[in-house]
Structure formats: structure tokens, C-alpha cells
Amino acid sequence: MRRFLLHYNSYQQGIEELVERLKQHGAEAHLLQADLSSNPGIESLIDQYRKSGVHADILVNNAGSLVQRAKLPEYTSGLFDSVMNLNVKSAWFLTQAVAPGMIERGHGHVVNLSSIAARNGGGPGATIYAAAKASIASITKGLAKELAPRGVHVNAVSPGTVDNDFHVQFSNRQMLDSVLAQTPAGKLGDNIEVADVILFLCTEPSRYIHGQTIEINGGMYMV
């Protein structure tokens, strides 16, 4: 039986619906709640992982948020720390907690979530979020160099503008329409398109891919 550890912060309804879907497919899921924008939250999740008795073969560092849009004069030290903790520090220390087991077994996959913001500096009031996602891309390369010789794949995905709850919170229709007009694919992305690439990076066909950040943006940004 496949076993999943599912982290969430506040959206309990959504995570419970996911658990039921996994059960329908014969999988077992355990919920871990923590606010990764704070040091105690990061430490709590790592503690819950260690106490679970589950040895992860796949880690998807998907926690992240803009938290709020704020330009230079408005940005506080607390907001800076929250954004960096949630998007960067949590990914680093969760990987630190999970990687030893992967190394011991000689295989594993870590997939980090970057963003197109890492390439273009982000939209209005998103500079520190963009910096955090650029850090993720750099961390992905560094960890791949360290862990690839031990059988552990470390890669990242970098979504463009995905039409999901993130942009319901932080964008408006005018902003989304502007991105859409510049996107060669003629549509915004969706969660499934991102999930499909994550799945690919955790399977055998990606076996010779290490340290890459895969851009998923409908051609909005071409490297």
C-alpha cells in the first residue's frame, strides 16, 4: 500500500477531500499540520515527520506563498522572515530531515517549487517572493551536486501564472489578462499541468535529470 504524508496549514477541508480521494485509490494518508512561515512551525513539521515512522522516497517542497504584496517602503522585517521561512527555509530543512533516509536506501526524489518570478523579479510588491523562488532554483542545483552521487534526484519546477487560488488572493483580472495576452499558448496554466511535470520528475523516465528547474509557463518565459 502506498503511504502519503500530507502537510497542510489552514485549508483542512481541501486536505480531507484529498485524503478521501487517495483512499478510493487504495492509498493511506496521514495529515501533518504546521505553519511553515515560522521557525516553530518548521520544527513542528520535522518533528511530526520523524515521529510518523514513514521513510519518504519522494519529497515535494510545495509550501509557498507571496503572503502579501508590499513594495520597498512598506516591507517589514516580520513579513520578510515569513516569506523566506515559508518559501526557502522550510524546503531546506525538510530536505535535511528526509535526505538521510533516501541516502541510506540509495534512491529518492526531491522536487522543489520555484516560480517564473525567479526569472523576471515578480509582479508589483512581489520582489522578496521572487528572491525566495530564485533561492529555491539555486538550492536545487547545489543539492543536486551533493545528493546525485548518493542516488537522490533533486529538481524543481517553475510555474508561470497558474489560474488557481494563489492568484485569486494576490492578483486581479486585469493583471491576469495582461499575462494571458503575452502567453504564446493562449491560456493560463492549471494545477494539473504542474502536477504532471512533478510526477514525471519522480519517475524512471527522468532518471538522468538532476539539478534542473523545469519552466511550465505556456511559453511566457523562454530560457
Tell whether 204 is covered by a domain: yes
Q: Could you read off the pLDDT of 76-99 as tens digits, one per residue?
A: 999 999 999 999 999 999 999 999
pLDDT of residue 151: 98
The number of folded domains in the chain is 1
- pTM to 2 decimal places: 0.93
Tell whether 124 is covered by a domain: yes
CATH of the domain at 111: 3.40.50.720
Report residue 189's pLDDT band, with 50, 70 and 90 as the boundaries.
confident
Tell whether 123 is covered by a domain: yes
Report residue 161's pLDDT band, with 50, 70 and 90 as the boundaries.
confident
CB-based contact 154:213 (threshold 8 Å) = no
pLDDT of residue 87: 98
Tell whether 101 is covered by a domain: yes
Tell whether 2 is covered by a domain: no
Q: Which of 11, 75, 129, 221 is catalytic?
A: 129
Tell whether 111 is covered by a domain: yes
How many whole angstroms separate alpha carbon 76 and alpha carbon 83? Answer: 11
Is 129 considered catalytic here?
Answer: yes
Q: Which domain holds residue 118?
A: 57-216
pLDDT of residue 17: 92
Tell whether 209 is covered by a domain: yes
In angstroms and rounded to an integer, the radius of gyration of the C-alpha atoms of the chain is 17
